[in-house]
Amino acid sequence: MRGARIIGTGRALPMRVVKNEELTLRMDTSDEWIVQRTGVRERRYVDPGTGSSHLGAEAARNAIANAGITPEDIDLIVFASLSPDHVFPGNGVLVQERLGMRTVGALDVRDQCSGFLYGLSVAEAYVKGRFHDHVLVIGAEVQSTGLDFSTKGRDVAVIFGDGAGAVVVGPAEPGRGILSSHLHSEGKYAKDLWLEAPSFIDNPWITHEMIDAGKHFPKMNGRYVFTHAVRRFPEVTLESLLKNGLTIADLSLLIPHQANLRITQAVGAALQLPEEKVFSNVERYGNTTAASIPIALDECVEQGRIREGDIVCLASFGSGFTWASTLLRW
Ligand code: COA
């Protein structure tokens, strides 16, 4: 079997920077509380009319350019998002059209914070299995339009932001690039981080009562999420190293999903990794769900934090619960 590696990365962030102070005008919160509990100092919000498909398409354009290929070379689009422009069709087809691609497949992935790594595993399999040569994987979110900015929704609203990241996966010699992917889920916690309505279970699927009850806003059992995240991140990171006969000492860089700074710090401590080996940009973007890992990866590449031959682990945890890791030899 041939290998598969990331041959280009890209990102797209909205221009509008929203600092914690701005949120204090809309809800009972403080910069101090947000920074202390989450590490977030600012996040980006889109202007009206911009969807995750737009941000995703821009990130994809950058990733394709950095890969030194053209949109015509892409054989498959994988788009991960919990905030697609529409319930259907998915964002993948919108990117196909916007980038003027061939009539290639467009697969939409619904695994929230793990969505990008779930999508990357699909790209890995298609390229390693010689089904395709170039697979585009996008993670993009517009969450600012769907948050409860009243004090009732403050625990969730202060954490999340908008953004997009993308990669192109192409062929590699065996043993280089994506070494392995590890995906997990535990659906008994589905309601501990979820958006209850509108729901096709209900008839009709959207009602005034739902809206009055605020069921159309995301809800989170923060403590549960925290407890599970600090256990699953280290577990799935070690799983990827073990699978490849490596140890934590071999790891050059861990790029965790940017859930919040306290989780990232707890994971680093659990793995006994020095601070410089655990990437964090959550203070600038908040939690961008499916977009956070590809945005972080693109920044790491740009900053020269990853060198050829480095062992890099991407790891995620989020709604589902789902968690995942991808081990790379860059
Ligand atoms: N500003 C000010 N106060 C807030 C607040 C905010 N934005 N959000 C919640 N609070 C209040 C609560 O209402 C509560 O008040 P009370 O004690 O009067 O009831 C108090 O702060 C403590 O809330 P609690 O939920 O116990 O805080 P916590 O220490 O568990 O921290 C989180 C809350 C959300 C920061 C924390 O649970 C967490 O980090 N969870 C993981 C979240 C995450 O990463 N999600 C994304 C996963 S992909």
> Which of 151, 175, 199 is where one domain is finished?
175
The mean per-residue pLDDT over the stretch 35-60 comes to: 98
Shared domain for 115 and 215, answered yes or no, is no
Q: Name every residue whose Cβ is closer than 8 Å to that of residue 19 and which is 6 or more positions away in sequence.
A: 31, 41, 42
Shared domain for 210 and 91, answered yes or no, is no
Shared domain for 41 and 143, answered yes or no, is yes
Closest Cα to residue 45, out of 197, 149, 136, 115? 149
State if pTM tops 0.85. Answer: yes
Domain count, the chain: 2
Shared domain for 191 and 209, answered yes or no, is yes
Compute the distance between CA of residue 26 and CA of residue 154 in angstroms, rounded to an integer: 9
> Which of 175, 195, 215 is where one domain is finished?
175
Shared domain for 103 and 242, answered yes or no, is no
Residue 1 pLDDT level (bands cut at 50, 70, 90): confident
Shared domain for 255 and 117, answered yes or no, is no
pLDDT, tens digit, 9 for 90 and up, residues 244-279:
999 999 999 999 999 999 999 999 999 999 999 999
Cα Rg of the chain (Å, integer) = 19
Q: Is 112 in the pocket of ligand 1 (CB under 6 A)?
A: no
Question: By alpha-carbon position, which residue is closest to atom 22 of ligand 1?
Answer: 155
Shared domain for 13 and 160, answered yes or no, is yes
Q: Residue 193 is part of which domain span?
A: 178-329
Phi and psi torsions of 8, nearest 5°: -165, 145
**Predicted pLDDT of residue 301:** 98
Q: What is the 3-state secondary structure (H, E, C) of 60-100?
A: HHHHHHHHCCCHHHCCEEEEECCCCCCCCCCHHHHHHHHCC
Q: Is 280 in the pocket of ligand 1 (CB under 6 A)?
A: no
E strand or H helix at 5, and its extent? strand 3-12
pLDDT, tens digit, 9 for 90 and up, residues 98-141:
999 999 999 999 999 999 999 999 999 999 999 999 999 999 99
CATH code of residue 139? 3.40.47.10
Shared domain for 84 and 143, answered yes or no, is yes
> Which of 175, 207, 226 is where one domain is finished?
175
Nearest atom, ligand 1, residue 260 CA? 44
The alpha carbon of 218 and the centre of ligand 1 are apart by a number of angstroms equal to 14
Report CA-CA distances (Å) from 279 to 7, 21, 61, 161, 295. Answer: 20, 25, 24, 18, 11
Shared domain for 14 and 151, answered yes or no, is yes
Closest Cα to residue 96, out of 76, 80, 82? 76
Shared domain for 26 and 132, answered yes or no, is yes
Asked whether the beta carbons of 172 and 226 are under 8 A apart, the reply is: no
Shared domain for 79 and 28, answered yes or no, is yes
